[in-house]
Amino acid sequence: MEYILEQLKKLMSIDSPSGFTGEVTRYTMEQFQKLGFQPYLTNKGCVVCDLGGEGNPLILSAHIDTLGGMVAEIKKNGRLRITNIGGLNANNCETENCRIYTRSGQVFEGTLQMNDPSIHVNKKFSEQSRTFEDMEIVLDEDVKSKQDTEALGIRTGDFVCFEPRTVITKSGYIKSRFLDDKLSVAILLGLAKRISEKKISLKRKVYVFITVYEEVGHGACGALPVDAKEIISVDMGCVGEGLACTERMVSICVKDSQGPYDYDVTTELIRCAESAKLDFAVDVYPHYGSDADAALAAGYDLKHGLIGAGVYASHGYERSHIDGVNNTLKLLQQYIRKD
C-alpha cells in the first residue's frame, strides 16, 4: 500500500490531460523498468508491459490521461477563454489554480474565475451560469491586453492543467482530482511489484496496457497485444445514488451506458471476490464508457470486464479510500493467480 500511495502522489504531480501525456508515460515506463519488466510505447503513446505468464492472454487496462483544458482564445483583457478536454465541468473547477504550458516549454500559473467574480462588485454573481464561456483564466502575470499575453508566448492551443490537490487523510481517505484513473495506474504498478517479487504466480499471460486518450473516447481503440483474448478495464468504480458501491469497496460493473459486460468475465470476477471475502459491489453504471468498451467498438474480438476502487464525486474533487484500493488489488490478484 505504501508503494501504491507513493506512486499515486508522483503520478498526480505530473500534469497529463488527454493529448499531453508524454512526461507521465515516460515516468510510468521507468517504474515498470525498475521492477524488472520491459515495457514499450505504442505509436499513439500508450504503455504496454508484459508481466509474464503463459496462455489465454489477459489485458489489464487503465488510463493515465486526465481531464483538462486548452486555450481557446486570448481575450482583449489578456485573460484566457478555455475549452474543456474530456468531461471537465466548469462548476467543478471554478476558482481552481492551474498551469498553462506553452509550446515553447514555458509554464505560467493562473486561476479559473467567473467573469467579474467579485461579489462586492457584481450583485448578479450567484445568478450567472457556470460555463467556460462565462469564465476566464486570470494569469498570475502583469497583463492587461491580448498583446501583453501574446508577448509572454501564450497562444491558442496551449494546455491548461488544473491543480489536483492530492490529500491522504489519517482515516485512509484519498482525495484528489484525477483519481480517475491515476489511482488504477498506481494499483497496477503495485500488482506488477508483487509479481516481480514473486509473490504471485500467474495462471495465464498478463499484459498491462496504460492508455492516454480514454477521456476523449479512443484510449484502447488500437495497438492492443494481438494475442489477447480478454480485457479488463481497471477504472474508477462509481459511487452515487442508486448504486451499492462505496469508496471502501471494489466495484464490479455488469453494465454501463455502452451495454453489458461479458457474462463469463463478470461471473468469474464475482466468484473471485466472494472467494477472497472481499468488500465488493456489483453495479450498473448509468453514464459511463470504458477502455474495454472502446476496444470492442474498434473491432477487437475480446471478452471484456470493468472493475475499480469506489470513487465518489467523479470528474470533480474525487474521493476514494485505501480499503477500496486494497480490495481492488486483491481482486486482481485472485483473478490472475494460480491456485
* CA-based torsion, 287, 184, 91, 20: positive or negative: negative
Look at the block and give the residue holding cell 499575453: 149
Name 126's Cβ contacts closer than 8 Å, sequence gap at least 6: none
Please classify residue 204 by burial: count the beta carbons closer than 10 Å to its beta carbon, then call 0-12 exposed, 13-18 middle and 19+ buried: middle
Cα separation, 52 vs 291, in Å, equals 22
* CA distances (Å), origin 191, targets 97, 196, 336: 33, 9, 10
The question of whether 214 is a catalytic residue gets the answer yes
Name 20's Cβ contacts closer than 8 Å, sequence gap at least 6: 68, 101, 159, 161
- Is residue 44 helix, strand or coil? coil
Q: Could you say which of 136, 214, 230, 247 is catalytic?
A: 214
Give the chain's end-to-end CA distance (angstroms, integer).
23
Cis omega before residue 264 (within 30°)? no
Please identify every residue annotated as catalytic. 214
